[in-house]
């Protein structure tokens, strides 16, 4: 899971030493260090790593836990690695038939915490990836740690075993505190707010005769009310829900039905725009300006798709404007930064529209604008082709 917040200071806890015995893969060492970093364990010892040390694969797999790898202590034997410890645990998935306590990771971390708090020094042994610890190595330990796993598939990856122990250790040390919680962005709604919203909802439902048959009305109202009270809504929730109800009840606003022009409507408006002003914008109160504003406020499906792509695609975000005047002309989309104008060609356009677009293109190109024409049906079918084509105009070398 990604999401490290670089602005926060990490915790420093006195915990057990993690000892990896003859690890075979650098990747496992790195991932074990990463797991240690997740849970504020910092002391790592390695006994006779197969591929030597330092190890590039370990550094890559550590994913930022460099502070742990930089302080790794190397030892030739397990005995040397544990010589200064006075409480030692050995992790094992199998029974070694040795007369010593076997505990789970939670019980082990409780004992380790008390031992470290009293000034002791504790460590945990982790064995080789292929066969774990030998009987002689387990014999050095005071306790054995094993994990409650599927007995028919008990083998854990080295880093997974370190993570499980680290998790139990950190959970106990921090009392299980989570790093973040759901933000409280608004106060809880009062009963008055909820009642006002509910009355408004019921009024609109009555208008569409939703609460039928009459004999079931009371039961339906109780069930509806319980939906919202179970939510424990905030004031902002109530404002949002009220807005939703009113939007549904009143329908979309705007001169175009549904708030979106279809291709035929857009074509007729473009024809009027061409006939009345030949692409010009004489003044802010003119017919042409009003028609242009109508087109801008009510984009066609193709315009909406292309505009969303231009604003969301990192290659173009913030570089284009829609239905913005360039001199006395209004191209569908324009980038002043790159001096590119994009014209959408709708099906069934009249000769007037075609001629108007040609005149606009000539005017723009005379002022060093590059004009690209895109078929509306192409946008609706596969917009990526046109975006790549546009990118080629902006960065011809790529």
pLDDT tens, residue by residue, 14-50: 889 999 999 988 999 999 999 999 888 989 999 999 9
Cα-based distances in Å from 144 to 55, 147, 156: 29, 10, 15
Kindly report the backbone phi and psi dihedral angles of residue 23, in degrees, each rounded to the nearest multiple of 5, phi listed first. -65, 145
Question: How far apart are alpha carbons 147 and 85 in whole angstroms?
Answer: 23
Q: Are 198 and 225 in contact (CB under 8 A)?
A: yes
Hey, is 235 helix, strand or coil?
Answer: helix
How many Cβ atoms are within 10 Å of 249's Cβ, its own excluded? 14
CATH superfamily of the 17-173 domain: SPOUT methyltransferase, trefoil knot domain (3.40.1280.10)
pLDDT of res. 266? 64
Orientation angle between helical segments 263-277 and 287-297, nearest 10 degrees: 160
CATH assignment of 258-394?
Answer: 3.40.960.10
Check residue 251 and give its pLDDT: 60
In whole angstroms, what is the distance from residue 145 CA to residue 102 CA? 6
Closest CA to 141 of 69, 92, 176: 92
Backbone torsions φ then ψ of 11, nearest 5 degrees:
-80, 150
Q: How many CB atoms lie within 10 A of CB 162?
A: 27
Token pair for residue 328?
């006395």
Report the alpha-carbon distance of residue 126 to residue 137 in Å, rounded: 10
Q: What is the pLDDT at residue 86?
A: 93
Per DSSP, 383 falls in state H
Cα–Cα distance between 372 and 190 in angstroms, integer? 56
- Answer whether 0.75 is exceeded by the pTM: no
Distances (CA, A) of 351 to 89, 267, 277: 87, 11, 15
Classify burial at 224, counting beta carbons within 10 Å of its beta carbon; exposed 0-12, middle 13-18, buried 19 or more. Answer: middle
pLDDT computed for residue 255 by the predictor: 41
- Reading across the β-sheet that carries 370-375, which strands appear in turn? 321-322, 333-335, 340-345, 370-375
DSSP symbols for 148-160: ---TTS----HHH
How many of the other CB atoms lie within 10 Å of CB of 10?
Answer: 11
Residue 260 φ/ψ region, left for φ over 0, alpha for ψ in the -120 to 50 degree band, beta for the rest: beta
Angstrom distances, CA of residue 232 to CA of 28, 184, 195, 201, 242: 46, 12, 13, 17, 16
Determine the pLDDT at residue 47: 95
pLDDT for res 369: 92
- 26 sits in which H/E element: helix 26-38
Name the token pair of 79: 């005995």
* Count of C-beta atoms within a 10 Å radius of residue 80: 13
**What pLDDT is recorded for position 351?**
81
For residue 144, the model assigns a pLDDT of 92
Print pLDDT tens along the chain (398 aa): 445 555 555 666 788 999 999 998 899 999 999 999 988 898 999 999 998 888 898 988 888 788 899 999 999 999 999 999 999 999 988 777 787 889 999 999 999 989 998 999 999 999 998 888 999 999 999 999 999 888 778 778 899 999 999 999 888 888 777 766 666 666 888 888 888 888 888 988 888 888 888 899 999 999 999 998 888 888 888 878 877 887 777 665 444 344 555 556 666 666 666 655 544 444 444 445 555 666 666 677 788 888 888 888 888 888 888 878 888 788 889 999 899 999 988 887 778 788 888 888 999 999 999 999 988 888 878 888 888 888 888 876 54
Q: Which residue has the tokens 């546009």?
A: 390
Give yes or no for a cis peptide into 213 (omega within 30° of 0). yes
Copy the structure tokens of residue 311. Answer: 């604003």
Residue 280, pLDDT score: 47
Chain center to CA of 317: 19
């Amino acid at each position: 899971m990604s999401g490290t917040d670089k602005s926060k200071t990490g915790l420093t806890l006195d915990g057990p030493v993690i000892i990896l015995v003859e690890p075979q893969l650098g990747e496992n060492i790195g991932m074990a260090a990463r797991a240690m970093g997740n849970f504020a364990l910092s002391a790592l010892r390695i006994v006779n790593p197969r591929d030597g040390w330092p190890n590039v694969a370990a550094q890559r797999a550590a994913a930022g836990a460099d502070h742990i790898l930089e302080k790794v202590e190397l030892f030739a034997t397990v005995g040397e690695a544990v010589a200064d410890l006075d409480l030692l645990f050995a992790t094992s998935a199998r029974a070694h038939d040795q007369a010593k306590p076997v505990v789970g990771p939670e019980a082990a971390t409780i004992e380790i915490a008390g031992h470290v708090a009293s000034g002791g020094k504790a460590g945990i042994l982790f064995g080789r990836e292929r066969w774990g610890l030998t009987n002689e190595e387990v014999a050095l330990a005071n306790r054995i740690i094993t994990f409650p796993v599927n007995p028919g598939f008990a083998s854990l990856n080295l880093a997974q075993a370190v993570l499980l122990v680290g998790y139990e250790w950190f959970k106990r040390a921090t009392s299980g505190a989570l790093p973040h919680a759901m933000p409280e962005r608004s106060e809880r709604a009062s009963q008055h707010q909820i009642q006002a919203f509910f009355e408004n909802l019921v009024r609109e439902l009555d208008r569409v005769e939703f609460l039928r048959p009459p004999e079931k009305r009371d039961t339906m109202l109780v069930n509806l009310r319980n939906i919202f009270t179970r939510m424990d809504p905030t004031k902002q929730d109530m404002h949002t829900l009220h807005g939703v109800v009113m939007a549904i009840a009143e329908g979309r606003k705007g001169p175009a039905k549904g708030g979106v022009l279809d291709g035929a409507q857009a074509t007729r408006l473009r024809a009027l725009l061409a006939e009345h002003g030949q692409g010009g914008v004489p003044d802010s109160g003119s017919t042409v300006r009003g028609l242009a504003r109508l087109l801008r406020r009510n984009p066609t499906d193709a315009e909406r798709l292309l505009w969303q792509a231009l604003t969301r695609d990192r290659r173009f975000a913030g570089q284009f404007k829609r239905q913005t005047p360039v001199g006395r002309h209004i191209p569908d989309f324009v980038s002043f930064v790159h001096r590119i104008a994009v014209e959408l060609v709708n099906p069934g356009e009249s000769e007037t529209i075609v001629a108007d677009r040609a005149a606009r293109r000539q005017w723009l190109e005379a002022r060093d604008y590059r004009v690209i024409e895109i078929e509306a049906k192409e946008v609706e079918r596969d917009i990526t082709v046109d975006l790549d084509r546009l990118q080629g105009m902006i960065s011809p070398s790529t």
